[in-house]
Chains A and B, each alone.
Chain A
Amino acid sequence: MEFAWSEEQLAFKQRVVEFAKNTLDSDDMVERDYHGKFSWENWKKCADFGIQGMCMPAEYSGSPALDIMTAVLGMEAIGYGCKDNGLTLALNAQMWTVQILLSQFGSDAQKQKYLPRLCNGEWIGVHALSEPDSGSDVYSLKTSAAKCDGGYLLNGRKKFVTCAPICNLALVFATIDQSLGKWGLSVFLVEKDAPGFSTGPVKEKMGLRTAPFGEIFFEDCFVPEENRLGPEGAGFSFSHSSLEYDRCFNLASELGAMERQLERTIEYAKSREQYGQPIGKFQSVSNRIADMKLRLETARLLLYKVAWLKERGEPAMMEAAMLKLHLSECYVASGLDAVRIHGGNGYLTEHEVERDFRDSVGGVIYAGTSDIQRNIIARSLGL
């Protein structure tokens, strides 16, 4: 068993941390969070640095693709160095639920047309799966794709789509035959200018406010045959594939955020004095910090295990579910501990402690709730 990273990998992580701290950090974070404002400027800076293209073939991204383990380290570094958790969510959503599917299952023409624009930050691609009546029971979705001359007509509505209001391209799951259930699902690449495609307004939400969520509507939206991703009926399999990647990489950024949060909390516990001594000397405070450290390190082990399995091309369904469940719940628990330790200051928005806590809550809901993860684990154990 080998737990060490290579010098090259650690150097890469450090470069990403420095990029994130020096380039993405801005004084207007509190204000942008309040107004729910996405930063196109930082999105493009990330693309220029090579974030969006880090796992894409060089012919589309301009630089060699990184291996999965190193990419996980990179996304962890972004989460650590960048305080804008909405931006890291948006990055991960595009990279692991749009680009990776395009790269693995797209035709050469599809890859050539879309991947360069997604990698260079010109476009934002979104993953449109959930619907008003299909959340956890996601494969009961109703958006239909009816065959027509030269392609398909899409009708339906998608909900909770990360970056929908600002997207250029949507990877849409629709059924070609409702009677086949999940086996009737196919995937389509739909551009925002397609006739019959429209998006709703930004939905206000508790956290991750800088990543605009919204709905997408399809009204007789024509999609040419060449914009179907993979064969008809492959939607179920593709969604499973992307969910494992999404859980792994998005959680890597959350792990980075947890480490940033822990370091800041330790610093506060050392410098803040009450009753004549640093508050970290009180066990009620230091015990909480010990718990935060334990959550961080146990989550880290699960994350690296999943990345290692994916790197080797091995199934990681149960391991990814355990990771998603554990890390997201730990992030919430540690976020609340950080607020408690910072006391009144932690409760005030201007100190930027409560934002991480608000941002963490989404993680126990999106990409499969904690209870769905428990179901997956139990079923994997033969129950």
Chain B
Amino acid sequence: MDNQEILKKFISEDLLNSRQRVEADDDLLGEEIIDSMGVMRLVAFVEETFSCKVPQSDITITNFRTIKAIDTYLAARSL
């Protein structure tokens, strides 16, 4: 499973309790699909799953607005 699929699965099933299926371009933050608590759980999931440390200053709307944005952020970190 690629990064985007892993994130879609976690957000849809764990954060949203399977009430909603999210897509890669959905505005997770602007449309408040995920709330404050959900974001912090998402960050913890990203750190554990992709074995990376997300600095607090990186937790911005630019990096976490969509699943694609998170994927881009992770890709940039691995360069």
Contacts and interface: CB of A to CB of B under 8 A. Distances in A.
A230 B32 CA distance: 24
B78 interface: no
A181 B37 contact: no
Contact of B60 (A237, A315, A376, A379): A237
B59 to A, nearest CB: 4
A236 B58 CA distance: 11
Name, among A182, A237, A382, the residue most crowded by chain B CB atoms within 10 Å (CB to CB). Answer: A237
Q: Is the interface of A mostly helix, strand, loop or mixed?
A: helix
Contacts of B61: 180, 183-184, 233
B57 interface: yes
A380 interface: yes
Q: Is the interface of B mostly helix, strand, loop or mixed?
A: helix
B56 A380 contact: no
Nearest to A233: B60
A234 B59 contact: yes
B17 interface: yes
B37 A231 contact: no
B20 interface: no
B57 A236 contact: no
Given A236-B36, A240-B40, A376-B37, A230 B59 contact: no
Given A139-B36, A317-B40, A382-B14, A236 B59 contact: yes
B17 A382 contact: yes
Contacts, number: 54
A237 B57 contact: yes
A233 B61 CA distance: 7
B33 interface: no
Interface residues of A, number: 25
Given A233-B61, A234-B60, A181 B32 contact: yes
B72 to A, nearest CB: 16
B29 A380 contact: no
Contacts of A231: 57, 60
A68 B75 CA distance: 33
Contacts of A313: 53
A152 to B, nearest CB: 17
B41 interface: yes
Contact of B30 (A139, A183, A317, A382): A183
A226 to B, nearest CB: 16
A240 B58 CA distance: 13
A340 B73 CA distance: 58
A108 to B, nearest CB: 15
Contacts of A238: 56-57
A234 B62 CA distance: 10
Nearest to B39: A236
Contacts of A369: none
A105 B60 CA distance: 14
Interface in A117-146: 139
Interface of B: 14, 17, 29-30, 32, 35-41, 44, 53, 56-62, 65
Given A234-B60, A237-B58, A237-B59, 4 more contacts: A180-B30, A181-B30, A182-B36, A379-B35
Nearest 6 pairs between A and B by C-beta? Answer: A237-B59, A183-B61, A379-B37, A233-B60, A230-B57, A237-B56
